Amino acid sequence: GVLGDQPFATVSAIRYGHTFGFIGFFIVQPPYRRKGYGTQIWNAALRHLEGRNIGLDGVPAQQENYGKSGFAFAHRNVRYEGTGGGEPPRDAETVELSGLPFEAVASYDRPFFPEDRSSFIKSWITQPDCTALGVLRDGTLAGYGVMRACRSGYKIGPLFADSPELAETLFLALKSSAGTNEPVYLDIPEANPAAVSLATRHNMHVVFETARMYKGERPDTPLHRVLGVTSFEVG
């Protein structure tokens, strides 16, 4: 949203494959709210994703408004904050994702998202200032995680694994590469008790939450293997 040459509002609407989309970055500067500008860019985002199931992570205060556009609540996502550092686990099967065939990473990721997003994942795990690790069992990828630099500290996401123990191995390996006093964030689906336990066990505390909502059928995501959401903004 722009008035003259002054940007004052944003929204993103990403098409994944042919059936899914995700809305994020919906922000209007306070002086321009309640004037209909947000509605205009919101409707533009919906038009861009017309005919698709659409997901978003919205702050609880906006849940009712999203419901008016046909979005239904799926579960809470909660952001935890902790600190980096610590000793990495001595696990010979924790490897850099860059050392694995990309097809193995894309194949492992596929059940966690409603559409193929291999082109996105290829960029996500090689973005600047990130650490991307996998954990193997019997030579097969059994989990992976990415930690990326933020404006303040680092954020881990996604964190997917076949068991809570493997997720913790990845979590410890990732956060050990951040400075001891650096903030580290983990966005978890509250519906997964193992994810909540992981965060609280490592002295992380809640700083933010969202409502995951869908305009269409709720995807059959294996939340018991999701211990870190990829992103509130892009899914």
Q: Confidence class of residue 135 from pLDDT cuts 50, 70 and 90?
A: very high
Which tokens is 42 given? 């919101």
CA angle 17, 18, 21 (to 5 degrees): 70
- The answer for residues whose C-beta is within 8 angstroms of residue 174's C-beta and 6 or more apart is 131, 133, 145, 146, 147, 156, 159
**Cβ–Cβ under 8 Å, residues 96 and 103:** no
Confidence tier at 90 by pLDDT (50, 70, 90): confident
Q: What is the pLDDT of residues 41-70, one digit of tens each?
A: 999 999 999 999 999 999 988 999 999 999
Two tokens at 135? 């954990």
Residue with tokens 């686990």: 89
- Mean pLDDT taken over the chain: 96
Predicted TM-score of the model (pTM): 0.96
